Amino acid sequence: MLSAEALSAVWLSMRVAVFATAINALIGIPLAWVLARHRFRGRGLVDLLVTLPLVLPPTVTGYYLIVLLGRRGWLGAPLYAVTGWSIAFTWYAAIVAATIMAMPLMVRTARAAIESVNLDYEKAAYTLGRSEWSAALEVTLPLARKGLLAGLVLAFARALGEFGATLMLAGNIPGKTQTLPLAIYTAVQTGETGESFGLVLMLTALSCLVLIASSRLGGRAQ
């Protein structure tokens, strides 16, 4: 029913979403914890930068990513000069775009969950000899796990559906950077209605699976 190109788009989207979610777990959760539990200079700025992709049009976020990472970008140009390689129009770019777009959902959800954990638990851990980091790992994060999980699910769903920023930074190269939403767009544009319908069903099914899995996990964590 689906062409090889369409299948590769599904496979690519899955990989991109999994990597983007993993990076969000590694960076987003510590970031959420720092924002929830610490007051420092520049905290407002960090908060703003993380949240911005939520309200900016995705193409604008994508534009900034090109400015930053493109072949002539602030970071991209030195990288290209040294290695002759640029992230733009590779599938890594799709991961970067999906990660940045999913980050606000991850950080905001995780931060709210961490802030709702009573500080007395952490204080109790300190009086029982735990450092700040061990208290966070052994007490705060496990107690916030439902919110963290919810954040990861939202991040995964967002990464799976990312379109605008991905198009800007990674392009729409079939078999290389064409993710599921881009493949749907292309199929509709070229009049392949059967193929686009199959892809739409596929994406809907994936999203439903994610939601069901998360509610199962959340139920067990209760």
Partner 1 sequence: MLFGPSGSGKTLTLQCLAGLVRPDRGRIVVNGRTLFDSTAGIHQPPQARRLGYVFQGYALFPHLTVAANTAFGLRDRPRAERDERAREVMERLGLGHLAGRYPRELSGGQQQRVALGRALAPDPELVLLDEPLSALDAPLRRQLRDDLGVILHDWGKAAVLVTHDLAEAYQLATTVVVYANGRVIQSAQKSELLWQPASESVARVMGIRNILRGSVLKAGPEAIQFRWRGQILEAVNSPTHSYLPEPGSPLAFYIRPEYVRLIRKDRAGPDAGHHMNLMNAAVAREADAGTVWTLYLVLDEPGEPAQGAYDLEVEVPKLVYEILEIARDRHWQISIHRGSIQVLPST
> Which residue ranges make up the site for partner 1 (CB under 8 A)?
118, 120-121, 123-131, 139, 142-143
Least separation, in Å, of the C-beta of 148 and partner 1? 13
For partner 1, give the closer residue by CB, 43 or 123.
Answer: 123
For partner 1, give the closer residue by CB, 85 or 133.
Answer: 133
Least separation, in Å, of the C-beta of 107 and partner 1? 23
Least separation, in Å, of the C-beta of 37 and partner 1? 14
Helices and strands, counts by H and E, the chain: 13, 0
Please report, as a single letter, which amino acid is at residue 204.
T
Q: In the structure encoding, which two tokens stand for residue 23, read together?
A: 């990076």
Least separation, in Å, of the C-beta of 128 and partner 1? 4
Distance in angstroms (rounded) separating the CA atoms of residues 136 and 138: 6
Please report, as a single letter, which amino acid is at residue 126.
Y
For partner 1, give the closer residue by CB, 142 or 175.
Answer: 142
For partner 1, give the closer residue by CB, 11 or 126.
Answer: 126
Q: In sequence order, which residues have a C-beta less than 8 Å from that of residue 111 and are 6 or more positions away?
A: 32, 33, 35, 36
